[in-house]
A and B are shown apart, each in its own frame.
Chain A
Amino acid sequence: KAGVTQTPRYLIKTRGQQVTLSCSPISGHRSVSWYQQTPGQGLQFLFEYFSETQRNKGNFPGRFSGRQFSNSRSEMNVSTLELGDSALYLCASMLPDWGGKNEQFFGPGTRLTVL
């Protein structure tokens, strides 16, 4: 079974631009979460989508947004990029299980550099 895939793997942008990152979850997984990882702040939760609806949201400004499509693929968008947005963006997919067996599986990440 294929794992979580993320595209692109590397991205270089300049301040003020916008960027869109893509994540394809494991087949059958309907929950997709996004995280930002930086050396200073560690791994921080951005948002989680399930069945095309945002269920949970972290403490990030409105410049960070996302969506999920009917095939569970997800995209996140960052507008008006700032230098501080340089980070590794990770996507995780999960098969929600109300009994607590829901295990997150991560993709390889997209390394975003803002110049």
Chain B
Amino acid sequence: KQEVTQIPAALSVPEGENLVLNCSFTDSAIYNLQWFRQDPGKGLTSLLLIQSSQREQTSGRLNASLDKSSGRSTLYIAASQPGDSATYLCAVPTSGTYKYIFGTGTRLKVLA
């Protein structure tokens, strides 16, 4: 059974800091992993998708890595800004299906 854990649960940092958010999953038989952000009361915005054959993906100040063998992914945010304040979620599919399991998220607050 796929289980997804995100650490830390919450994070508060001053503007400009570089951040690392962690996502761990128990079943490494995944074909991709997706990172999202969610603003309060809103839907999810896709940030990055990493296929199982890839080690990392980059989009602007965001970089996500994937280590299937250890069941881990990290989301690196460079030079954080107050606009980055949101909850960040990772999601992985259960083996052989399109049923996605989400982590509980990391609530990030970037202080100006």
> Which positions in A face B, CB cutoff 8 Å?
4, 31, 33, 35, 42-45, 48, 50, 55-58, 88, 90, 92, 94, 96, 99-109, 111
Contacts and interface: CB of A to CB of B under 8 A. Distances in A.
B28 interface: no
Interface residues of B, number: 25
B98 A111 contact: no
Contacts of B51: 99-101
A8 B46 CA distance: 22
Contacts of B32: 100-102
Interface stretch (B14-22, B36-44, B71-79): B36-44
A6 to B, nearest CB: 8
Given A43-B89, A111-B41, A105 B99 contact: no
Contacts of B49: 101, 103
Nearest to B49: A103
A34 B36 CA distance: 16
Nearest to B32: A100
B99 A109 contact: no
